[in-house]
Amino acid sequence: MKSLILLIFLAVQAFSNDVSYNRGEMLFFSKGCSSCHGASAEGSSTYPKLANKEEIFIIKKLTNFKAGIADSVSQQMMAQFAQKLSAKDIKSLAYFLSHYKEVEVKDVEDDLLGGFGS
């Protein structure tokens, strides 16, 4: 009986994690995060890498930004984006970024139309 309960708990947790990951991914792109932090959350010389950072770190930073708390002048620009996020949004974004996995992109020749110019 304990094994069955544990199995059900693990299945529900795995489903919940997938939903949170997918929701966070959708938010990352729809809220424009990828415009500065990169499509793979890899960052740049100006904007920090977010992929695979600790979940608690991302939650803390976004929560602080939402409250208008920033460590530097350059971070203050995040307040305008974070203010629009709900607690659930922040949690989903943090889950997605902390568990970020590279997406395999197939060659355009695998496209149904045979790629460009065909």
Inside any domain, residue 45:
yes
Looking at the predicted structure, is the pLDDT value of residue 8 above 60?
no
Written as one string, the DSSP assignment of 38-92 is -TTS---SSS---TT--HHHHHHHHHHHHTT--SSTGGGGHHHHHTT--HHHHHH
**Rounded to an integer, what is the distance from CA 38 to the centroid of its chain?**
11
pLDDT digits (tens, 9 = 90+) for 29-81: 999 999 999 999 999 989 999 999 999 999 999 999 999 999 998 899 999 99
How many CB atoms within 10 Å of residue 47? 16
The parent domain of residue 24 ranges over 2-101
Please count the structural domains in the chain: 1
Inside any domain, residue 93:
yes
Looking at the predicted structure, is the pLDDT value of residue 109 above 80?
no
**CATH number where 49 lies:** 1.10.760.10
| pTM for the full predicted model | 0.74
Inside any domain, residue 53:
yes
In percent, the amount of the chain with pLDDT more than 70 equals: 72
Inside any domain, residue 106:
no
pLDDT of amino acid 106 = 61
Q: In angstroms, rounded to a whole number, what is the distance separating the alpha carbons of residues 8 and 11?
A: 5
pLDDT of amino acid 118 = 46
Chain mean pLDDT for the chain: 83
**Rounded to an integer, what is the distance from CA 84 to the centroid of its chain?**
16
Top-confidence residue, 75 or 6: 75
